[in-house]
């Protein structure tokens, strides 16, 4: 019952549509992937340097079918971070765009269109757990080579749940709006292929003319977006656009503000587009909850209910289950899509299931009388940066290691670095350093000078005393 095998049945339907409008049938697409993977023995580790294009998705599905374990790496990754990953996982094979800057000296084994497959200097001298299917960079990785270990069961289970609650039809065409190395985008690809639908592999951002040209030409029926994408759509006056092909859109990767949620609910209702708000984490493969669109108005601000096959519970500080409605506790998810655990390096790839189907999300939530869940805060100090979970304590650690005196706070998509470094050049340096280390544009960081870091008597940082000088994009 593995979805990437079952999709053979869709033989002559269209699986992938390129930006140029080329259509590949399931038969062709699967054949191309299988052929590419012929060169690689099962149970090897493959670094798959992703762009949102046919070549990447073809190798991804091919790898799952062959039992090769891909590490999904965005082609835009910082060179130094990439080197760390490479050293930590000793992949035997790397598949990357021909014009990619790394590994030009490694021998070429094969290729597919604009991508080339190379063997590396590493001989695989470690075992892979038989259940291990896929390795994804975690949002909270903050510059460390930490990956999430996903199993074959995880991927199929989550894709099935998603296809079911979204009611994906074979006629649907999903256009990508996020990098496919990101779990949310990958889940859109998986769930659409599962149903014999098509995916339009698009590299452009919604603020580029090319995106809308492709949109008009290829008429996607759906896309997904993190809050930042919805902000861009708002600035582009999404409400005024004529997009008759659009049937439903999804939102995840962080919470929309109440005003944004209401505005988009209104626009979508008027246009007859279903807007489905969801919640998830890479640690749960992708999705854990969805808000049924019929209830979107009534339950605005809610992350909805557990996906089919999953369940939520809330626990108090003593780990006891909370049964009363409207009581805040840590959100716990149980389901087949809870991943095996983390890896810090190749040594961890033989490990089995460490989570046993239960995930402590780190989010604080409450449940209303109808069983709908609402995120109200976070147990640990982290921010969502463009859909990625970033632990602030870890960020402080990285900066400290680099010799900067600094504490971090902020809001989603906007991190503030409070520093006692007085020199402007040093502040600038710090900002550039952290922007590179975390791989977010330096515009997402604001450096604020403070005379001293406020601490209580026990030496704990008083984040509440940091104030909140804010620099926000003015409201439209």
Partner 1 sequence: MTNMEKYRNAFVKGLELPLEEVKSGLTYQGIENWDSVGHMGLIAELEEAFDIMFETEDIIDFSSFEKGIEILKKYDIAVEG
The reply to whether 244 sits near partner 1 by the rule CB under 8 A is: no
Distance of closest approach, residue 470 Cβ to partner 1, in angstroms:
14
β-bridge partners, 313: 332
Q: Edge-to-edge strand order for the sheet containing 14-17? A: 23-25, 14-17, 198-200, 173-175, 222-225, 248-251, 274-280, 287-290, 305-306
Name the DSSP class of 474. P
Nearer to partner 1, 101 or 205 (CB): 205
Tell me how far apart the terminal alpha carbons of the chain are, to the nearest angstrom: 49
Token pair belonging to 391: 């632990």
Q: Does residue 231 bind partner 1 (CB under 8 A)?
A: yes
Helix (H, G, I), strand (E, B) or coil at 59: helix
How would DSSP label each residue in 320-365? PBP-STT--EEEEEESTTS--EEESSGGGTT---SSTTEEEEEEEE
The residue count for binding partner 1 (CB under 8 A) is 23
Alpha helix (H) ranges present in 195-335?
Answer: 209-218, 227-235, 258-271
- Only one of the segments 35-43, 191-199, 224-232, 280-288 lies at the binding site for partner 1 (rule: CB under 8 A); that segment is 224-232
* CB closer to partner 1 out of 10 and 230: 230
Closest approach of partner 1 to the CB of residue 240, in Å = 7
Told to check if 411 binds partner 1 by CB under 8 A, we report no
Between CA 430 and CA 308 the distance in angstroms is 45
> Does the protein bind partner 1 through residue 101 (CB under 8 A)?
no
- 240, 401, 422, 460: which one binds partner 1 (CB under 8 A): 240
Q: Which range of residues in 33-41, 119-127, 237-245, 318-326 is near partner 1 by CB under 8 A?
A: 237-245
CB of 228 to partner 1, least distance (A): 7
Q: Does 205 bind partner 1 (CB under 8 A)?
A: yes
Among candidates 71, 66, 73, which has minimal Cα distance to 2?
Answer: 66
Distance of CA 79 to the CA centre of its chain: 20
Report helix, strand or coil for 198: strand
223 binds partner 1 (CB under 8 A): no
Q: Is 422 in the site for partner 1 (CB under 8 A)?
A: no
Least distance from partner 1 to the Cβ atom of residue 451, Å: 25
228 near partner 1, judged by CB under 8 A? yes
Q: Would you count residue 462 as binding partner 1 (CB under 8 A)? A: no
Looking at beta carbons only, is 201 or 338 nearer to partner 1?
201
Q: Based on the shown chain and the rule CB under 8 A, indicate whether residue 232 belongs to the binding site for partner 1.
A: yes
Q: Least separation, in Å, of the C-beta of 226 and partner 1?
A: 11
Q: Does 207 bind partner 1 (CB under 8 A)?
A: yes
Site for partner 1 in 145-174 (CB under 8 A): none
C-alpha separations of 307 from 156, 157, 317, 360, 449 in Å: 14, 11, 25, 16, 45
x-or-dash pattern for partner 1, window 359-398, by CB under 8 A?
---------------------------x------------
Which residues, in sequence order, are bridge partners of residue 70? 46
Tokens read off for 108: 């070429």
Which residue, 14 or 52, is less far from partner 1 as judged by CB?
A: 52
Nearer to partner 1, 237 or 455 (CB): 237
Is residue 90 classed as helix, strand or coil in its secondary structure?
Answer: coil
Task: Reduce the DSSP state of residue 229 to 3 states and report it.
Answer: helix
Query: Is residue 443 part of the contact set for partner 1 (CB under 8 A)?
Result: yes
* Among 40-48, 219-227, 229-237, 282-290, the segment contacting partner 1 (CB under 8 A): 229-237
* Enclosing H/E stretch for 376: strand 373-378
Interacting span for partner 1 (CB under 8 A) from 190-198, 261-269, 336-344, 468-476: 468-476
CB 405 within 8 A of CB 423: no
The C-alpha atoms of residue 59 and residue 30 are separated, in whole angstroms, by 9
Give the number of other CB atoms < 10 A from CB of residue 200.
24
CB of 443 to partner 1, least distance (A): 5
How far, CA to CA in Å, does 40 sit from each of 71, 144, 198? 14, 27, 27
Place of tokens 């350093």: 433
Which of 442, 450, 453, 454 contacts partner 1 by CB under 8 A? 442
Min separation Cβ 202 and partner 1, Å:
13
Note whether 291 and 302 are within 8 A (CB). Answer: yes
- Identify which range of 61-69, 165-173, 419-427, 440-448 contacts partner 1 by CB under 8 A: 440-448
Name the site residues for partner 1 (rule: CB under 8 A).
205-209, 211-212, 228, 231-232, 235-237, 240-241, 386, 441-444, 473-474, 476
């Amino acid at each position: 019952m593995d979805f990437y095998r079952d999709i053979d049945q869709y033989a002559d339907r269209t699986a992938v549509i390129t930006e140029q409008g080329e259509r590949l049938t399931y038969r062709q697409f699967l054949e191309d992937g299988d052929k590419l993977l012929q060169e690689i023995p099962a149970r090897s580790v493959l670094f798959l340097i992703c762009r949102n294009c046919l070549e990447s998705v073809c190798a991804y599905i091919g790898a799952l079918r062959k039992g090769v374990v891909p590490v999904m790496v965005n082609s835009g990754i910082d060179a130094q971070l990439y080197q760390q990953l490479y050293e930590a996982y000793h992949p035997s094979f790397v598949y990357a765009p021909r014009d990619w800057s790394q590994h030009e000296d490694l021998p070429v084994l094969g290729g597919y269109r604009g991508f080339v497959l190379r063997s590396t200097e590493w001989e695989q001298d470690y075992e892979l757990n038989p259940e291990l299917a896929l390795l994804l960079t975690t949002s909270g990785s903050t510059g460390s080579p930490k990956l999430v270990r996903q199993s074959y069961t995880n991927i199929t289970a989550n894709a099935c749940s998603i296809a079911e609650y979204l009611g994906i039809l074979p006629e649907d065409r999903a256009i990508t709006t996020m990098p496919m190395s990101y779990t949310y985008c990958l889940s859109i690809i998986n769930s659409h292929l599962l149903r014999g639908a098509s995916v339009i592999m698009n590299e452009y951002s919604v603020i580029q003319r090319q995106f809308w040209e492709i949109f008009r030409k290829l008429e996607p029926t759906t896309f997904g977006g993190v809050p930042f994408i919805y902000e861009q759509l708002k600035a582009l006056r999404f409400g005024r656009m004529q997009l008759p092909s659009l049937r439903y859109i999804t939102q995840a990767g962080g919470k929309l503000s109440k005003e944004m949620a209401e505005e988009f609910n209104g626009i979508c209702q008027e246009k007859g587009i279903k807007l489905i708000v969801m919640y998830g984490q890479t640690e749960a493969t992708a999705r854990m909850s969805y808000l049924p669109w019929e209830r979107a108005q009534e339950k605005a601000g809610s992350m909805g209910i557990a996906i089919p096959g999953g369940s939520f519970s809330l626990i108090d500080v003593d780990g006891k289950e909370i049964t009363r409605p409207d009581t805040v506790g840590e959100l716990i998810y149980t389901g087949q899509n809870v991943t095996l655990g983390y890896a810090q390096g190749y040594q961890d790839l033989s490990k089995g299931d460490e989570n046993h189907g239960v995930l402590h999300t780190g989010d604080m939530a409450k449940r209303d009388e109808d069983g709908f869940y609402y995120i109200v805060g976070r147990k640990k100090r982290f921010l969502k940066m463009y859909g990625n979970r970033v632990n602030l304590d870890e960020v402080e650690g990285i900066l400290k290691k680099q010799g900067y005196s600094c504490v971090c706070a902020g809001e989603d998509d906007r991190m503030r670095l409070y520093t006692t470094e007085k020199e402007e050049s040093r502040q600038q340096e710090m900002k550039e350093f952290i922007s590179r280390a975390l791989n977010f544009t330096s515009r997402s960081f604001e450096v604020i000078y403070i005379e001293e870091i406020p601490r209580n008597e026990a030496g704990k940082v008083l984040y509440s005393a940091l104030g909140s000088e804010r620099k926000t994009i003015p409201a439209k």
